[in-house]
Amino acid sequence: MEGVGPWTPSASCQPGGRDGARPTIGAGALARPARSAPRICSVLAWAGLALVCGCGPASKDTGVAAGSGAGTSTESAPAAGAGALPGAVHEPIPVVTKSGIEMVYVPGGEFTMGSAQGNGDEAPAHTVRVTGFLVDRFEVTHEMFVKVQLPDPSRWQGNPRGPVERLRWRDAKQYCNERSIAEGLKPCYNEKTADWDCDFSADGYRLPTEAEWEYAARAGTTGPYEFGTADKLRLYAWYAQSAEEKTHPVGQKKPNRWGIQDLYGNVSEWCEDVYSPTYYATSPASDPSGPPNTGKDVKRVIRGGSWRSSADQCRVSFRQGEKTGDSDACFSTDYCGFRCVRRAAADEVRRMAAGAAGAGRTGP
Ligand SMILES: [Ca+2]
The residue type found at 179 is: R
Output b/e per residue, 313-334; b: 16+ Cβ within 10 A: bbbbbbbbbbbbbbeeeebbbb
Q: How far does residue 362's CA lie from ligand 1's centre (Å)?
A: 35
Q: How far apart are CA 106 and CA 334, in angstroms?
A: 29
Average pLDDT of the chain, as a whole number: 79
Q: How far does residue 338's CA lie from ligand 1's centre (Å)?
A: 7
Q: How far does residue 264's CA lie from ligand 1's centre (Å)?
A: 5
Q: How far apart are CA 218 and CA 256, in angstroms?
A: 8
Query: Model confidence over 94-114: pLDDT tens digits?
Result: 999 999 999 999 999 999 999
Q: How far does residue 113's CA lie from ligand 1's centre (Å)?
A: 18
Query: Model confidence over 46-75: pLDDT tens digits?
Result: 444 443 343 333 333 334 443 344 444 333
Q: How far apart are CA 23 and CA 192, in angstroms?
A: 16
Q: Which domains does the chain possess? A: 42-60+79-359 (3.90.1580.10)
315 near 158, Cβ under 8 Å? no
Q: How far does residue 360's CA lie from ligand 1's centre (Å)?
A: 32
Q: How far does residue 265's CA lie from ligand 1's centre (Å)?
A: 5
Q: How far does residue 252's CA lie from ligand 1's centre (Å)?
A: 12
Q: How far does residue 237's CA lie from ligand 1's centre (Å)?
A: 8
The residue type found at 309 is: S
Q: How far apart are CA 29 and CA 182, in angstroms?
A: 8
Task: Extract the residue ranges of the chain whose pLDDT is less than 50.
Answer: 1-89, 356-364
Query: Model confidence over 335-362: pLDDT tens digits?
Result: 999 999 999 988 899 888 887 444 444 3
Q: What is the DSSP letter of 110?
A: E
Beta partners for 64? 221
Residues lining ion ligand 1 (Cβ < 5 A) are 262, 266, 304
